[in-house]
Amino acid sequence: MVTYYLTRLLVTLVAIPWHEAGHALASLLLGDPTARRHGRLSLNPLRHFDLLGTLCMVVAGVGWAKPVPTDVRRFKNPKVGMALTALAGPAANLILAYLSMTVWKLVYYWAPDTLAVEYLLFFLQYMVMMNVGLAVFNLIPVPPLDGSRVLLVFLPQRVYFGVMRYEKEILAILLAVVWFGALNGPLNAASDWVWDLLYAGTGWVDNLAYTAFYLSLGTRV
Known catalytic residue: 118? Answer: no
Q: Which of 20, 118, 167, 169 is catalytic?
A: 20
Rounded mean pLDDT of 171-189? 85
2: left (phi over 0), alpha (psi -120 to 50) or beta: alpha
> Which of 37, 19, 40 is closest to 74 using CA atoms?
37
pLDDT band at 146 (very low <50, low <70, confident <90, very high): very high
Report pLDDT digits (tens) over 32-50. Answer: 999 999 999 999 998 998 8
Report pLDDT digits (tens) over 49-108. Answer: 888 877 777 776 677 788 899 998 899 988 899 999 999 999 999 999 999 999 999 999
pTM: 0.91
What is the pLDDT at residue 220? 58
Stretch among 15-29, 64-78, 147-161 having the lowest mean pLDDT: 147-161
